[in-house]
Amino acid sequence: MADAMKMRATMQGDTADVKVLMNHIMETGLRKDAKTGQLIPAHFINSVVAAVNGKTVLEAQWGAAVAKNPFLGFRVKGAKAGDKITINAVDNKGEKLSGETTVA
């Protein structure tokens, strides 16, 4: 998926402030299609892993109730400018999304 994520990481004192915006429909599986009356199957990111220079800092499990095009913000103490931050996400259909940025 192209442009699956937008990321920004900035230093705030000795802490890196990371913001991630993912491009995903986050379908709950509870909504009905207005035309057919059928339930729209669930399709949502359920696993997100963030790493700094390859070291995992955050592991998240999500349900379908994270808002559409999910936003995630977190802070990492001890990170430095130039550190590489990677995010890997997997949805309930096994589709993968990933993003990468360097701390500014």
Residues that bind other proteins (CB under 8 A): 15, 19, 26, 28, 30-32, 41, 46-47, 49-50, 52, 55-68, 70-79, 90-95
Question: Shortest gap between Cβ of 8 and other proteins (angstroms)?
Answer: 13
Rounded to an integer, what distance in angstroms lies between the CA atom of residue 73 and that of residue 92? 22
Rounded to an integer, what distance in angstroms lies between the CA atom of residue 42 and that of residue 29? 4
Cα separations in angstroms, 25 against 4, 69, 92, 104: 11, 6, 12, 29
Question: Shortest gap between Cβ of 3 and other proteins (angstroms)?
Answer: 19
Question: Shortest gap between Cβ of 2 and other proteins (angstroms)?
Answer: 21
Q: How many residues does the chain have?
A: 104
Q: Considering beta carbons, is residue 95 or 100 the nearer one to other proteins?
A: 95
Question: Shortest gap between Cβ of 47 and other proteins (angstroms)?
Answer: 6
Rounded to an integer, what distance in angstroms lies between the CA atom of residue 3 and that of residue 11? 24
